[in-house]
Amino acid sequence: MIKEIEKLKKQKNAIILAHNYQNPEIQDIADYTGDSLELSKIAAHNDAEIIIFCGVHFMAESAYILSPQKKVILPDIQAGCPMADMAEVEDVIEMKKNYPHAAIVTYINSSASVKAVSDICVTSANAVRIVNKLETDTVIFIPDKNLAHYVQRFTQKKIIPWKGFCPTHDRFTKEELIAIKQKYPDACVIVHPECRPEVVDMADMVLSTGQMVKNIPMITNKQIIIGTEAGIVHKLKKIAPEKEFILASKDFICPNMKKITLEKVLIALSDEQPIVTVQEGTRIKALHALQKMLELS
């Protein structure tokens, strides 16, 4: 399958992008792996004709919004993001009416139609920096309440959180973290800002997946507890094979990220589907919010 994927990729001028949460075999066949921000930049600047996006729906949508001339393919069209689905465009418009002077800041983990009614997008890697650069004093932060809470720690602005959350990160509790810390007392604890505030409080570092990759070489502890989706451990092990990575909970699995398999990638490349597109009026508005993010990051 891997040989066939390689052959088709060359024939069709395609690239494979894989999020850091993908299964190891998918990361290994990808041309690029990265976090949401890194992958959206690659999608925008690469000249491949076909992008096979190994991730979830909002990521493929973002790639299409930035590069509509490319064929963007999501190998399993059912790979969605439950957190992105927690914000509906009508509710966002309603919320905006209550805070007419607030900026709508939307995490990239959202649908194209929600991005289209937003002032700017952010990722977990740039949310703090971007919120602080905005001119408004009040921000409606959509859809992740945990990331909103994290941003509030680093800004004087008033953050009004949406009520969404990532089920994979939000189910991890403070008690579970206390237990794993007791088991590995010398370990450094790194968690993703999608975790609950009380978990964030106890971590040594709070990083996006891309920031984890960049920071691992600087950490002196031999053992590192990882509080995010299991897929990242494969990448971290490649960067620092001498370290012991301990997944903070066996439940740190995003079932949607895991829907992408080698077989589905091969079928998607050969059939050139399922494609992801966005209606042009929505795309132009969503593009504006994404481009503003790319300019400020």
Query: Contact residues for ligand 13P (CB under 6 A)?
Result: 20, 35-36, 109, 123-125, 166, 194, 208-209
Q: Does 249 bind ligand SF4 (CB under 6 A)?
A: no
Site residues (CB under 6 A) for ligand SF4, limited to 254-293:
254, 256-257
Min dist. Cβ of residue 228 to ligand 13P (A): 7
Smallest Cα–Cα separation from 83: which of 54, 124, 53, 116?
Answer: 124
Contact between 99 and 140 (Cβ < 8 Å)? yes
Min dist. Cβ of residue 141 to ligand 13P (A): 15
Site residues (CB under 6 A) for ligand SF4, limited to 145-204:
166-168
Contact between 218 and 234 (Cβ < 8 Å)? no
Q: Is 36 exposed, middle or buried (0-12, 13-18, 19+ CB in 10 A)?
A: buried
Smallest Cα–Cα separation from 59: which of 46, 74, 44?
Answer: 74
Nearer to ligand 13P among residue 83 and residue 287 (C-beta): 83
Q: Does 83 bind ligand SF4 (CB under 6 A)?
A: yes
Residue 125 is encoded by which pair of tokens? 């890697």
Q: Which stretch binds ligand SF4 (CB under 6 A): 75-83, 153-161, 207-215, 268-276?
A: 75-83
DSSP class of residue 191? E
Contact between 15 and 31 (Cβ < 8 Å)? yes
The CB density around residue 29, as the number of other CB atoms within 10 Å, is 19
80 binds, among ligand SF4, ligand 13P, none (CB under 5 to 8 A by kind): none
- Per CB under 6 A, the list member of 14, 18, 30, 81 interacting with ligand SF4 is 81
Nearer to ligand 13P among residue 23 and residue 36 (C-beta): 36
Q: Does 56 bind ligand SF4 (CB under 6 A)?
A: yes
275 three-class SS: strand
124 binds, among ligand SF4, ligand 13P, none (CB under 5 to 8 A by kind): ligand 13P
Smallest Cα–Cα separation from 37: which of 165, 124, 118?
Answer: 124
Q: Which residues sit at the interface with ligand SF4, rule CB under 6 A?
A: 21, 56, 81-83, 109, 166-168, 229, 254, 256-257
